[in-house]
Amino acid sequence: MLEIQPTHNQRFNDLDTLRDYAQDEHEYTKYVPIGNGVLTMNDDKYIYNGHDFLHFNEHGLKALFTAIGVNGLFPCMMATEEPSVSTDFINKLLKQEKIRQNLSNKQLIINNAQVIGVVSLQYNRYSNHKFLEDFISKNETANEIDFERGMVKNTKMSLNWLDKEYTGIEIDGKLDRSRIGFYSGNSMVGDAPIDSSLSVFDTMCTNGMKLKFNVNTMRIVHRGSGGMKWRMRKMLEETRNQYKAVKERLETLLEIPYEDHTAERLLSSNAPLSIIPELKEKKLWHTKKKFQSPEDSVRDLKRSIGVVQHSPIKYGGVHTHNIWESGYRQGKRSMYHFVGAFTEYAQTQNADIQYQIEEEAGDLTSWIHKNKVVLLN
């Protein structure tokens, strides 16, 4: 079995700490061309590039498999328990002339003697340190926003910013309970572009309701030379110009009551409900399956309705329970509170799952906004 090093999530609630981390990451991350030499695998855990014996993390090893054209074999190589079998197989591939030629146009991304990625020589390096400093330094936009949180995993940086002036909407008769902002992200290992998308943070929830909207998501690929600073700032400016779209979606959620029949309407209208774990895993599925009898289809629909109806209580936290279990609030539940149950649940998960749930919540919110007539009639 191939031995790989763990990849850790780093969370940041303080911008200065994040900047220090990005500075260190920048200094210790090297891009080393493979050139015409032959890479060799050793002892199921090292790669030798003619200079150093290097470990891999999972992304780095997957990237090497992709570079030599056998990414589909990664699970098999990781599952092989016989010593040296994977090493011998990989070395046979690495000696092939066609693969060597292909790798001669690649470079290893190395951090602390560990391969964390493999990219082409044409890859436009744009470190997280440079990304942050270009955005923050001498930038008027940086003075108009607050840093809310950040996460870095294998150099893939995801940041959430909140606008200082642009508050959201009135919720339950109280003003300024939500703040609108945006996500921004970068990666140094070729697995993601520089991007930004809209978000909202609602302080009415104990842990904060956070949504990520893929509305006119802006992206910059790591290609070409120069201009990254200007392109990145332009991207963020255009993202902020879409704040109105976020506000409209939140207002739509509040307009639509959550009633006894809402779950069935969501399911029968094929709403994107992958945010509910049971439906994502397809333990239950409401759409008619091939060769499924009408009786089984009705049964699955009923079971799925039950899953949707129970999901706020199952996944929501204290705030959601106060709303769902209150007789006084029963007639005041809205789709805003339904979506909020999952974003509240997201705050209890690890960073990867948290961001995924928030994005799914944004997708569901956008769908509700487009299909509100279906839910209101």
Query: Which of the pair, 199 or 124, is modelled with greater confidence?
Result: 124
Residue 283 has pLDDT above 60, yes or no: no
Determine the Cα–Cα distance for residues 167 and 181; give it in Å rounded to an integer. 9
- pLDDT value of residue 355: 82
Residue 168 has pLDDT above 80, yes or no: no
**Sequence spans of domains, the chain:** 29-120, 128-246, 254-376
Strand runs labelled E in 221-347: none
Q: Mean pLDDT throughout 17-45?
A: 92
Confidence of residue 104 (pLDDT cuts 50, 70, 90): very high
Q: Mean pLDDT throughout 161-182?
A: 71
pLDDT in tens, 62-102: 999 999 988 888 888 888 888 888 899 999 999 999 999 99
Nearest to 208 by CA among 181, 184, 185: 181
* Chain position carrying tokens 């930038």: 139
- pLDDT value of residue 314: 94
- pLDDT value of residue 206: 41
Residue 156 has pLDDT above 50, yes or no: yes
pLDDT in tens, 200-247: 876 555 444 566 666 556 788 888 766 788 888 888 888 888 888 888
Q: Mean pLDDT throughout 333-341?
A: 90
User: What DSSP letter does each residue of 135-189 carry, written as one string?
Assistant: HHTT-GGGGGEEEEEEEEETTEEEEEEEEEEEE---BTTBSS-EEEEEEEEE-SS
Residue 371 has pLDDT above 70, yes or no: yes
Q: Mean pLDDT throughout 181-194?
A: 91
- pLDDT value of residue 114: 95
Confidence of residue 303 (pLDDT cuts 50, 70, 90): confident
Give percent above pLDDT 90 in the chain.
37
Six token digits for residue 282: 């397809």
Residue 116 has pLDDT above 60, yes or no: yes
Residue 176 has pLDDT above 60, yes or no: no
Residue 286 has pLDDT above 70, yes or no: no
Exposure class string for 123-144: b at 16+ Cβ within 10 A, else e: beebbbbbbbbbbeeebeebee
Say what the alpha-carbon torsion angle 360, 363, 367, 370 is, to the nearest 10 degrees: 160
- pLDDT value of residue 207: 46
Q: Quote the mean pLDDT of the chain.
A: 84
Determine the Cα–Cα distance for residues 274 and 235; give it in Å rounded to an integer. 29
Residue 335 has pLDDT above 80, yes or no: yes
* pTM strictly above 0.85: no
